[in-house]
Amino acid sequence: MKKFIFIPLFIFLFTALTFSQVNFDDYFIHKTLRLDYVQAGDAGSSNIFFEQMKCEPFWGGVVKNLIDKFNYGEYRYFVYDSGSMKLIYSKGFSTLFQEWQTSDEAKVLSRSFYETIVFPYPKKTVKVEIHKRNRDGNLEKKFEIYVNPDNYFINPETPAKYEFSKVLDSGDPSVKVDIVIIPDGYTAGDMEKFKSDVNRFIGYFFTCSPYKENKDNFNIWAVYAPSQESGTDIPGKHIYKNTIVNSSFYTFNTERYLMTMDVKDLRDIAAGVPYDQIMILVNSPLYGGGGVYNYYSIVSSDDPYSDYVMTHEFGHAFADLADEYWTSDVAVTDYFNQKVEPVQPNITTLVDFASKWKNLVDKNTPIPTPNDSKYYDKVGAFEGGGYVEKGIYRPKFDCTMKSRSRNNFCPVCYNTLSEMIKFYTDK
């Protein structure tokens, strides 16, 4: 029996795009078509260049809700049946590239980033489009390709096979949220530690709401892919390690930002199991991590705050929750256009507050909400979030997306996560 605990759902969850769903078996088979590309540019421009296509052996995603109803992510991709031009699959996502575009480096240097998208393997030729949001939040088409599933250039090679286990088995992947945990910086001799770390992090995860109420809606997979060396890169300390997915601190020259650019190898390793979300566990005692919507989340294993970092970063990766803090150093500058409403569900510029959580606010709570202790337990619009002190507002004074408090999602974040779980597990 599925268990869902909801604060009454409200309108911002359904700024969702309203497309009718399609029958999976009419258009797809239960494998994955992976489309790899390179995105390149600088602070003011970007282009997408085709790289390759791969056939992966499993489809771990949904089979009912094939059209993404959420208007989340800085990008969206759309898959159309080429005969009828009917939309048969779509999904929102974000990338490291668009974060990098707001960094100081992007103002003086051009770079390329390897990226991938996945969708169910089509039975017939499809048209695939990738759209990117411009500064005003509007989607613009950046790439288009027709994909014939019989094309002999679609690579069917099975990536290197690693041992894996289904650490939590709640049933059919098509109606569960499947998380695959990938190790980085764990040698073959470290695999017992990785197994112990996985169990520890699962314990953290399922003592946090809304995940603990929905444990039977998750499958957790662990892939035992060893690295040549223990640890990870720490460029600021001139430390470099040979690891399987090449994670590194100092991403975009921010010390605690732990990420990987090696999305190709990461996807190859994950392809051995059905999955919806990739989580990377890095064998390190240092504080750090990261999360990008429908891209991956990553966390170091042994920092005292790793439990918090894991739940915080998974909030980014799973539901596009924005950072609600503004006091920590980040690599991005002027990330959100304060003249438009951000797509992230838990921050607002008040440009269109009615599309967010306005109907959760008590009539006696002022908007904007003063920084006064009498409002700290209320839902309002507290100034400060999205990396800036002024002009962007968060739903509650404190939340897991703001401070180092693991089991502390505000009602807006809780509802968003709950609705996302429901979307993945709807039969």
C-alpha span between 194 and 301 (Å, rounded):
9
Express each pLDDT in 332-367 by its tens digit.
677 899 999 999 999 999 999 999 999 999 999 999
- The answer on pLDDT for 388 being more than 80 is yes
Q: Is residue 196 part of a domain?
A: yes
Q: Which residue has the higher pLDDT, 313 or 6?
A: 313
Mean pLDDT of the chain: 94
Last residue of a domain, one of 117, 147, 177: 147
What's the average model confidence in pLDDT over 14-41? Answer: 85
Choosing from 147, 176, 193, the residue where a domain stops is 147
pLDDT score of 160: 79
The number of residues in the chain equals: 427
Q: Are residues 185 and 316 in the same domain?
A: yes
> In the predicted model, is pLDDT for residue 291 greater than 90?
yes
- Domain identity same for 193 and 286: yes
Domain containing residue 101: CATH number: 2.60.40.3250
**Is pLDDT above 70 for 10?**
no
Q: Tell whether 252 is covered by a domain.
A: yes
Q: What does the pLDDT read at residue 2?
A: 37
For residue 375, being part of any structural domain is answered with no
35 close to 20: Cβ distance less than 8 angstroms: no
Match 């759309």 to its residue by tokens.
78
Angle formed at CA 72 by CA 174 and CA 154, multiple of 5 degrees: 55
The answer to whether residues 207 and 267 belong to one domain is yes
What's the CATH number where 184 sits?
3.40.390.10
Tell me the residue range of the domain where 76 lies: 11-147
Same domain for 108 and 132, yes or no, is: yes
Q: What is the C-alpha to C-alpha distance for residues 50 and 48, in angstroms, rounded to an integer?
A: 7
Same domain, 213 and 89: no
pLDDT per residue as tens digits for the range 100-135:
999 999 999 999 999 999 999 999 999 999 999 999
- 91 in the same domain as 179: no
pLDDT tens readout for residues 89-102: 999 999 999 999 99
Q: Is the pLDDT of residue 76 over 80?
A: yes
Q: Are residues 189 and 280 in the same domain?
A: yes
pLDDT score of 330: 72
So what's the pLDDT on residue 158? 78
Question: For the chain, what percent of residues have pLDDT higher than 70?
Answer: 95
Given this model, what pLDDT does residue 212 score?
A: 97
pLDDT digits (tens, 9 = 90+) for 218-247: 999 999 999 999 999 999 999 999 999 999
Rounded to an integer, what distance in angstroms lies between the CA atom of residue 150 and that of residue 403? 50
Shared domain check, 202 and 88: no
Instruction: Check whether residue 113 and residue 194 sit in a common domain.
Output: no
pLDDT digits (tens, 9 = 90+) for 266-290: 999 999 999 999 999 999 999 999 9
Residues 241 and 120 in one domain: no
Residue 164: partners with Cβ closer than 8 Å, 6 or more residues away: 221, 222, 223, 224, 272, 273
Out of 99, 119, 147, pick the residue that ends a domain. Answer: 147
Average pLDDT over residues 371-380: 96
Q: What angle do CA 412, 417, 422 make, to 5 degrees?
A: 125
Q: Is residue 63 part of a domain?
A: yes
pLDDT tier at 5, thresholds 50, 70, 90: very low
Do 186 and 224 belong together in one domain?
yes
- Do 418 and 402 form a contact (C-beta atoms < 8 A)? no
Residue 157 lies in a domain: no
What is the predicted pLDDT for the residue at 144?
98
Q: Is the pLDDT of residue 15 over 60?
A: no
φ/ψ (deg, to 5) at 312: -65, -50
Q: Does residue 242 lie in a domain region?
A: yes
| pLDDT more than 90, % of the chain | 91
- What local confidence, expressed as pLDDT, does residue 19 receive? 59
Q: 136 and 167: one domain?
A: no
Q: How would you label 142-175 residue by residue, b for 16+ Cβ within 10 Å and e otherwise? A: bbeeebebeeeebeeeebeebebeeebebeebbb
Q: Is 294 left (phi over 0), alpha (psi -120 to 50) or beta?
A: left
